[in-house]
Amino acid sequence: MLLGLRENRPAQHCWFVPGGRIGKNERIEAAFRRISRMELGRELSAENARFLGVFEHLYDDNFASMPGFGTHYIVLAYAIDEPGGFDLPVEQHSRYDWMTEDDVLCRPDVHPYVRAYCGR
């Protein structure tokens, strides 16, 4: 599993999967292509991915570090089996690493929400 060490809130300083938000009126396939291009440096299609499920993520903090409200994400998780060659951005993650399922499940610096994707 490809994980990045997050620099931004929420999940700051934890290993987390690359991802992004779907915009208002944006179709899922278009979002998948845009997010993969932005997060992996290569445009991919949801047709070639395996849908893992819908997950809910709740955080006490937010990307702007503003007090008084948290973050709530509804996640559409996908697995992709693609060879390397990604051009990974450094705006949100200071570094990246490929981890085994055992690493994801055992390492304390991997965010707990990421563990839910294992075994699917």
What pLDDT, in 10s, does the model give residues 14-66? 999 999 999 999 999 999 999 999 999 999 999 999 999 999 999 998 888 88
Domain boundaries, the chain: 2-115
Question: What pTM was computed for the model?
Answer: 0.89
3-state secondary structure of 75: strand
Give CA angle at 28 (60, 71), nearest 5°. Answer: 5
pLDDT at 84: 72
Asked if residue 83 has pLDDT above 80, the reply is no
Residue 103: predicted pLDDT? 97
What b/e sequence results for 79-115 when a residue is b if at least 16 CB atoms lie within 10 Å of its CB, and e otherwise? eeeeeeebeeeeebbeebeebeeeebeeeeebbebbe
| Residue 116 pLDDT > 90 | yes
pLDDT in the model for residue 63: 85
User: Selecting from 3.30.70.141, 1.10.150.120, 3.90.79.10, 3.40.50.150, what CATH number does the domain 2-115 have?
Assistant: 3.90.79.10
Compute the distance between CA of residue 5 and CA of residue 85 in angstroms, rounded to an integer: 19
